[in-house]
Amino acid sequence: MEFLYALEKIRNPILDFIMSAITHLGEEILFIVIAVILLWCVDKYKGYYMLCVGFVGTQLNQLLKVTFKIDRPWVKDPEFKPIQSAIKEATGYSFPSGHTQSAVGIFGSIARFARTNWLRITSIVIAALVAFSRMYLGVHTPLDVGVSILIATALVFAFYPIIEKSRTNRNVMRIFLVFMIVWSVAQVFITHPIYLSDVDNANFLSAAKNAYKMLGAVLGFAVVYELDIRFINFDTKAVFWAQILKTAIGLGLTLAIQEVGYIFFDLFMGEFGYRCATYFCMVVFAGAVWPLTFKWFAKLGKK
């Protein structure tokens, strides 16, 4: 808290604006955008790598939140005032930092497989700035941020050889996906407020929503992997402008599924089930349905 009070003293409108912008680089939408660009345009196994780091990282982050139940800085110390605009996205318990873990997972993954020093350095700097922004905005302490950096970094280095191995040994990925599914199912039970007593339901509600989203995403990932290795086997190659067109249309449709799914499935599946179903459909579309168009996009620009 002493460090957060020190940062509070240097706040000014310009820094507030800059840090508020930087912190968005740790949000879910950027993870989706970068993951699908890797999956569709660069190398699908690099896309799989980032998805694994992101999915497992999110699950572990939420598990630690509901295990330690550490309140946000302004709850622990009512005298402390965070940047008001940052509170809306600061859901659930404080420890560890979800934005930081996401940013280190995204940009740490890029740094891990990048072949140029400038891309590695840029990725590391961005991740560090997101971590700092969470403390500047007053929504996380150095402990929240520091532990998230350690966890995400460990996942970045641990999963890279696993995913690379799966290029030649499909059972490696299958075993890993089974592990992720079992963990995701367990996480649903662990975080669901109905199975717990004497807890802050608002914070557990946030963790439960994430657990159902991750369960749907992981199940979708398992379906996508099997469909691709058995039937689709899509290629990411295309001319530059066709890659842009492919990504723009596909990403727009993926995000549209998210919005429509939230409305449609909510009518039939209740508070948590619709999140699971929506993310399942998003991942299956991005990993198995949209890639069916890639042969057509690959022909664009060729004589």
Other Cβ atoms within 10 Å of 262 Cβ, number: 13
Q: Are 94 and 141 in contact (CB under 8 A)?
A: yes
Domain of residue 158: give its range.
Answer: 2-299
Give how far the C-alpha of residue 185 lies from the chain's centroid of Cα atoms, to the nearest Å.
18
Q: How many domains does the chain have?
A: 1
The pTM of this model reads: 0.92
Distance of alpha carbon 287 from alpha carbon 19, whole angstroms? 33
Distance of alpha carbon 290 from alpha carbon 144, whole angstroms? 38
Per-residue pLDDT 10s for the chain (303 aa) are 999 999 999 999 999 999 999 999 999 999 999 999 999 999 999 999 999 999 999 999 989 998 898 999 999 999 999 999 888 888 888 999 999 999 999 999 999 999 999 999 999 999 999 999 999 999 999 999 999 999 999 999 999 999 999 999 999 999 999 999 999 999 988 877 655 545 556 677 778 888 999 999 999 999 999 999 999 999 999 999 999 999 999 999 999 998 888 777 766 767 678 889 999 999 999 999 999 999 999 999 775
Dig out the tokens for 60 from the structure: 């572990």
